[in-house]
Amino acid sequence: MQQIMEQAQKMQEQLMSAQQELADAEVTGSAGGGLVTATVTGAGELKGLVIDPKAADPEDTETLADLVVAAVRDANRAAQELQAQKMGPLTGGLGGGLGDLGLPGL
């Protein structure tokens, strides 16, 4: 029983470490051939948005809005891939459920 408790404690420490790595990591996504670039943390928090002036047409703000949404989605997809990469091996024995770990979207 003691060995199981030690293994559980070790796994919890590894999960916490992986969560911190995700919070510290940043990934980017882009749209429009790089006209809009979004940066998010590995945990999915939007940290930055860069818009090329060529994308800012005052007569067509809808296209710019679509590019921003697409770039953020692309960055979030990259963040989810990073989450799966970091957390997947650690959660294999837990049925993959991470809802209680504060990582929405997994």
Give the pLDDT score at 59: 93
What's residue 92's pLDDT? Answer: 62
Sequence-distant (6+) residues with CB within 8 A of 75 are 27, 28, 29, 38, 39, 40, 46
- Please name which of 28, 27, 31, 38 lies closest in space to residue 66, comparing C-alpha atoms: 31
Q: Which CA distances in Å does 64 have to 23, 28, 42, 78, 86? A: 28, 18, 25, 21, 33
Task: Give, for all 106 residues of the chain, the pLDDT tens digit.
Answer: 888 888 888 888 888 888 888 888 899 999 999 999 999 998 889 999 999 999 999 999 999 999 999 999 999 999 999 888 887 776 665 444 444 444 444 4
pLDDT score, position 100 = 44
Place of tokens 């800012």: 56
Distance from C-alpha of 48 to C-alpha of 54, rounded to nearest angstrom: 18
